[in-house]
Amino acid sequence: MTDTIFANATLVLPHEVIRGSLRIEEGKIADIASGSSVPSGALDCDGDLVLPGLIELHTDNLERHIQPRPKVHWPHHAAILAHDGELASVGITTVFDALRVGSITNSNTNYGEYARALADEIIALRGKGALRINHLLHLRAEVCSETLVEELAKFGPEDTVGIVSLMDHTPGARQFRDLSKLKEYMVGKHGMSDEGFRDHVATQQAIAERLGAVHEAAAVQEARRLGAVLASHDDTTAEQVAASKAHGACFAEFPTTEEAAQACRDQGIAVMMGAPNLVRGGSHSGNVAAAHLAELGLLDILSSDYVPSGLLSAALMLGDLWGDTARGVRTVTEAPAKATALADRGSLALGLRGDVIRVQRSGPATLVRGVWVGGERVA
């Protein structure tokens, strides 16, 4: 492995931005210096931003590649490789691939089991060195389902599951407490009729009433067995946040209200919001705006959610909003690394992994000009 020197770069360090150079040696950051000189053999960045590689904790992007259209299924290996390449191209160097566990046996909305088989394929490709970036596992434990316990039991500590999140998509609760928003989503995605939607709501609510509490407790226990970080999802009230804290949640995915975000801060739970919410100027589900939480100082982590390219754009938007580029970048690098106990990455600091991206910025537009993972260029 050859050394790589980024010179004449705008380095985004943990708490400041400087003009300087950075050297990667044997896959790790070996030197950081100020100044604009360009030594022989160095890459002249011409003032471009040089950032830590982005860390993505929750993305639906792989599912989009596996099912590019309703009822269209793509070969998994090709989908995983395309997903991997797309993330690399936008500066994401570590991803927790979010796989739903918990299915409904009789459903016309594609709620069949898939996580174990897909995880095996990701792990196999990772073992062959076929993936450009670091892929870890995030199990989205759907408590409003029929098979959650059985599906979770198929995973073990050897799978190195990094995150288990408590998902509850019961109609009328949390993200979809507004049934009109849920109907809009289900009709748009699955083409449901009015009668079909009413049946869906009734079925889901009955399952949640029968199994929701049992599944929530089981998911918490399974996260401990797997050695995974626990995350809550779509907390709406202070009471729900208190329950998440009691379960041991380390971060909260997409709290839906200011009340829940403030309760997370009070309870010491990091708040993660979606980059699309910030870029679009609001939530597509009618929930609290990410920008509003950022203005209140209640936003810690960003996730690309369903638009991979949005992660970098949103982080730089936050930097502009806060008047602190380093702080904005921390929401997609250092903060997600800390939330998931990845102590070897997330900052431009000596001894950490050489996961680095070069970014050209012109006004609101950003162009990723290079991506390095462990010192090796991958995009």
pLDDT digit string (tens) for 118-158? 999 999 999 999 999 999 999 999 988 889 999 999 999 99
Q: What is the pLDDT of residues 58-92, one digit of tens each?
A: 999 999 999 998 789 999 999 999 999 999 999 99
352 and 220 share one domain: no
Location of structure tokens 């050695």: 227
Domain identity same for 331 and 362: no
Note whether 95 and 41 are same-domain residues: no
Same domain? 115 vs 212 = yes
Find where tokens 């900052």 sit.
347
Strands 356-362 and 49-52: antiparallel
pLDDT at 205 over 60: yes
Which of 352, 284, 360, 294 lies closest to 321, judged by CA? 294
* 379/370 Cα distance (integer angstroms): 6
- Contact in structure between 96 and 57 (CB atoms under 8 Å): yes
Contact, 48 vs 20, CB < 8 A? no
Q: What is the dihedral of CA 148, 152, 154, 159, to 10 degrees?
A: 150
Q: Are residues 163 and 35 in the same domain?
A: no
The structural domain count of the chain equals 2
Which element (helix H / strand E) includes 278? helix 275-280
Tell me which residue has tokens 């300087």: 20
Task: Concatenate the DSSP letters of all residues of 117-176 into one string.
Answer: HHHHHHHHHHHTT--SSEEEEEEEEESSSSSHHHHHTT--GGG-EEEEEEE---TTSGGG
Average pLDDT over residues 317-329: 97
Other residues' Cβ atoms within 10 Å of the Cβ of residue 356: 27
One domain, residues 312 and 249: yes
- Mark 188-223 as b/e (b = at least 16 C-beta within 10 Å): eebebeeeebeebbeebbebbeebbeebbebbbebb
Same domain, 36 and 116: no
Q: Do residues 147 and 8 both lie within one domain?
A: no
Same domain, 269 and 332: yes
pTM (two decimals): 0.92
Nearest to 63 by CA among 22, 2, 118: 118
Asked whether residue 40 falls in the same domain as residue 139, the answer is: no
CA distances (Å), origin 123, targets 66, 119, 128, 161, 307? 16, 6, 9, 11, 23
Do residues 259 and 314 share a domain? yes
Q: Helix, strand or coil for residue 338?
A: helix
The predicted structure's pLDDT at residue 210? 79
- pLDDT tens-digit map of 287-304: 999 999 999 999 999 999
Q: With bands split at pLDDT 50, 70 and 90, how would you rate the model's confidence at 188?
A: low
Residue 274, domain extent: 54-344
Beta bridge partners of 139: 99, 164
Strand order in the sheet with 229-233: 54-59, 92-101, 134-142, 161-167, 229-233, 251-253, 270-274, 301-303
38 plus 110 within the same structural domain: no
pLDDT bucket at 255, cuts 50 / 70 / 90 = very high
pLDDT of residue 253: 97
Angle formed by the axes of helices 76-89 and 115-127, nearest 10°? 60
Q: Say which residues have a Cβ less than 8 Å from residue 19's Cβ, sequence separation at least 6.
A: 8, 9, 10, 11, 34, 35, 36, 47
What's the CATH code of the domain at 367? 2.30.40.10
Looking up residue 240, the CATH number of its domain turns out to be 3.20.20.140
* Coil, helix or strand at residue 66: helix
Percent of residues, the chain, with pLDDT higher than 70: 91
Q: What angle do CA 114, 120, 126 make, to 5 degrees?
A: 130
